[in-house]
Amino acid sequence: MPATLQCIVLDCPEPAQLAYFYQAIMGGEVDRPDPRWRVDEDWSTLHVNGLVLGFQRALDYRPPHWPDPSYPQQFHLDFEVDNLAETHHHVLSYGGRLLDPDLGGRGWRVYADPAGHPFCLLGDY
């Protein structure tokens, strides 16, 4: 049951600004229309060579101070899955933890890996 990496998301204070920064480095298209994501002042995307980077506004953002662990790196992974219920049980069986069950029905659930890094599973229920 392989998952497909859908998007790599970076927290930041200014999403569009960071999207244009990475566009300058990697090329691609900022905020291309895509039904998977909304684009607004709190969320921006960069589509480049089949990869999508997402930039998400984080209030009170604390940037990493490499390699100081008191200011850790900040990002999370989004995975699109065919069967969310089955993958949910698979994730838990390998030591993942459910952080946000999506009770509001937005279409994704937030988990933590065994080390505590957040990631999202997106799919149909």
Is residue 101 scored above 80 in pLDDT?
yes
Same domain assignment for residues 21 and 39:
yes
Comparing 52-61, 66-75, 91-100, which segment has the lowest mean pLDDT? 66-75
Q: Which of 64, 50, 48 is nearest to 10 (CA)?
A: 64
Amino acid identity for residue 38 in this structure: R
Residues 55 and 3 reside in one and the same domain = yes
Assign residue 3 the CATH number of its domain: 3.10.180.10
Looking at every residue in the chain, the average pLDDT score rounds to 89
Nearest to 91 by CA among 73, 74, 109: 109
Q: What is the pLDDT of residue 77?
A: 83
Q: What is the mean pLDDT of residues 74-100?
A: 89
CB contact at 8 A, 121 and 111: yes
Asked if residue 48 and residue 1 are part of one domain, the reply reads yes
Residues 76, 91 within the same domain: no
Q: Can you give the pTM of this predicted structure?
A: 0.75
Residue 108: what pLDDT? 86
Residue 71 has pLDDT above 90, yes or no: no
pLDDT at 73: 72
Strands 29-30 and 118-122: unpaired
Q: What is the share, in percent, of the chain residues with pLDDT greater than 70?
A: 98
Same domain, 1 and 30: yes
Shared-domain flag, residues 47 and 2: yes
Calculate mean pLDDT across residues 49-69.
89
Same domain, 48 and 104: no
How many domains are contained in the chain?
2
Cross-strand partners of 46 = 30, 53
C-alpha closest to that of 44 among 61, 21, 19, 23? 19
Cα distance between residue 91 and residue 107, in whole Å: 17
Please check whether residues 23 and 50 belong to one and the same domain: yes
Q: What is the domain extent for residue 49? A: 1-63+72-80
Q: How many other CB atoms are found less than 10 A from the CB of residue 16? A: 19
Checking if the pLDDT of 125 tops 70, the result is: no
- Say yes or no: 93 and 56 in one domain: no
Q: Are 81 and 117 in contact (CB under 8 A)?
A: no
C-beta of residue 64 within 8 angstroms of C-beta of residue 82: no
